[in-house]
Structure 1
Amino acid sequence: MKSTIKLIQKSRKYSEAFKKSIVKDFESGKFSVPQLERIHTISNVTIYRWIYKYSTINQPGQRIVEMENSSTKKLKSLEAKVKELECMVGQKQIQIDYLEKVIDLANQELHIDLKKNSNTPLSNGSVTKRK
């Protein structure tokens, strides 16, 4: 006897609040449809259907067209800017460490106090301290 195996189709039901939150994320510009598709593992056709149904911005009869990779290009440019700024901060920190080391060496070897507190008297010029 030959048995037949029938595949059970899996279908998910989403609440209306969840659908509206997806549409709200799209409309706010936080995520593009492909990003929402990857995050929630929902097909882009379904997401577009929800947008047409629940959108407060989109009017009936209008088609939503996203520029190809527009949001991903913007995200990559912002990530590049962050990386550049982090590099600049790192360089400035190296300069600060270097200058602090020079000040410490000047204090130890030349006996010149370059770090002055507000309550110390003014110096008499570049006279070195006597031991």
Structure 2
Amino acid sequence: MAKLNLKTGKSTNYKIRQSLTFSESFKREKVEDILNKRISISEFCKLWSISTTSVYRWIYQYSPNHKKGTKMVVQQESEAAKTQELLKRVAELERILGQKQMEIDYQSKLIEIASKELDIDLKKSFKLTL
């Protein structure tokens, strides 16, 4: 197994990897374990010395909910809570904006009525120059 390298004088060890073959029932069982979060994909790969590509291939093949090409949107609870908080904030700001617009409309109408009553154009008389 050890081979002597003539240039450096050091021996090199080569490890021959054994080919593993798993039964379909084993694959189905392990896919179920992974999907039910009894074991993580990385732990499973280390335990059985297989690649993550193989595990994902099993998941695509044996899981009814995880087919290749489907996209899942994963949103953490904190992100969902943050989104709800921002939506509430937007609604509150829209409400305040609506109130301010009503105040402006009210004041404009009041100036218009006062101008008619006093027979003076208050908008021209009291224009501020900045």
TM-score band, normalised by shorter chain: 0.3 to 0.5
Q: Which has the higher strand share?
A: 2
Q: Which has the higher helix share?
A: 2
Choose between structure 1 and 2 for higher RCO, CA contacts under 8 A separated by at least 6 residues: 1
- Give TM-score, length-normalised by structure 2: 0.39
